[in-house]
Amino acid sequence: MGISIDEQIRILSRRSERILNEDDLRKKLARSEKTGKPLRIKMGMDPTAPDVTLGHAVPMKVIREFQDWGHKAVIIIGDYTARVGDPSGRNETRPVLSGEEIDRNAKTYVAQVGKILRTDPEHLEVRYNGEWLAKMNLVDIIRLTGRMTLAQVLQRDDFAKRFSEQVELRLHELIYPLLQGWDSVMIDADVEMGGSDQLFNNLVGREFQKEEGKESQVVIVTPLLVGTDGAIKMSKSKGNYIAVTDPASGPKGMFGKIMSLPDHLMESYYTLLTDLPAEEFRSLIQSNPRDAKVRLAKVMIMWLHDAASAAAAESEFVRTTHGGVPDEMPEFSIGSGPHKLAPLMVKAGMVTSNGEGIRKIKEGAVKIDQQKVTDFQKEYTFDKPVVLQLGNRKFARLKP
């Protein structure tokens, strides 16, 4: 394998907010090296929404390092815990999904995770925690809850906060960390990865393993990636996320989303999501933020798509920001007309109502074949396809 343990720790530290604890990790790594037995690196995924985001990608990149050193990722799909709802980092109760929704989401996870992780059976094991949680009966569950006190559970920051602020806190939410901890026992995790908001949950696993007379897992938490709003943690439910499966270009594509990140986020994105050396991107960010962001976008797309898509996304971006028109856009057959423009904009999905379309025309935001439209009452007849444009990001080809 060739890399010293010191070197491994150094590499891991780039994305580690905390390692609990480092000595244990060193011991595990050393033993694994000696025996050739890979470590089991656990990460839980809550299938409450179908997208794996760049937020998940941060701990997953760490897992990928472990895989590259010969260890095994164990991804736990929380099909059962999703029925409970992880309250991490929330100040409100998470909605509980139906079984079908969860299953549907869970299925797509494996493919998405494959963009980041090695997926051969040597390096990846995917488990559903319903596998063992579904078998527990009431007595088992009551015993599990008896392992912790209320005071211990309320140490968790968001629980404590909600409790003291008199925000709703349901009993089932308190059980969530216990279930997640039990997962670690069941799969014999050596290391559990997660965002820093998972710290408490992961430590429960460490504790439970010890109680069961097993070797305790090491807990590594990564910094939380801030979402596209530049303010709060990237999360599916807040809509401030970039998904690993987002298209490279287009109005909702990775390139555009990354370009619209506030500049001050670039350093953390470079650090957490790329492997470029810090000196390199720091100086680029300082000297030319615009180019630094383009570079970031391209690196991300090369990673999650491919080099050709990255180049195409950039050229499309440059063209459209300079008033150009992209090669590809959605097409709509509308018949020759006559048509008023606002309803066409609705049909093309650019606006949600005629009124909004009319407003946009009045604002001077609408163009047909690059010509600004000013009269919202005017009726148009088309004998050949035209490009309808709102702002410089939304395009549709209208065919007679």
Sorted by sequence, the CB contacts under 8 Å of residue 387 that are 6+ apart come out as 325, 329, 367, 368, 369, 370, 395, 396, 397, 398
CA distance linking residue 170 with residue 194, whole number of Å: 24
317 binds RNA (CB under 7 A): yes
169 binds RNA (CB under 7 A): yes
How deeply is 63 buried, as exposed, middle or buried, from its count of CB atoms within 10 A (0-12, 13-18, 19+)? buried
Which CB atom, from 54 or from 77, has the smaller least distance to RNA? 54
260 binds RNA (CB under 7 A): yes
What sign does the CA torsion over 210, 216, 220, 224 have? negative
Choosing from 259, 302, 368, 387, the residue that interacts with RNA (CB under 7 A) is 259
17 binds RNA (CB under 7 A): no
**Candidate segments 45-53, 65-73, 202-210, 360-368, binder of RNA by CB under 7 A:** 360-368
356 binds RNA (CB under 7 A): yes
CB 329 within 8 A of CB 395: yes
230 binds RNA (CB under 7 A): yes
Which CB atom, from 143 or from 172, has the smaller least distance to RNA? 172
Choosing from 157, 364, 378, 379, the residue that interacts with RNA (CB under 7 A) is 364
CA distance linking residue 184 with residue 76, whole number of Å: 9
290 binds RNA (CB under 7 A): yes
What angle (nearest 5°) sits at the alpha carbon of residue 388, between those of residues 387 and 391? 120
CA distance linking residue 242 with residue 54, whole number of Å: 6
Choosing from 321, 336, 370, 371, the residue that interacts with RNA (CB under 7 A) is 321
Choosing from 355, 369, 374, 399, the residue that interacts with RNA (CB under 7 A) is 355
Choosing from 94, 123, 305, 394, the residue that interacts with RNA (CB under 7 A) is 394
CA distance linking residue 235 with residue 58, whole number of Å: 13
Beta bridge partners of 331: 397
339 binds RNA (CB under 7 A): no
Residues near RNA (CB under 7 A):
166-169, 228-230, 251, 255-256, 259-264, 289-290, 293-294, 316-318, 320-321, 342-343, 346, 352-356, 358-360, 363-365, 390-394
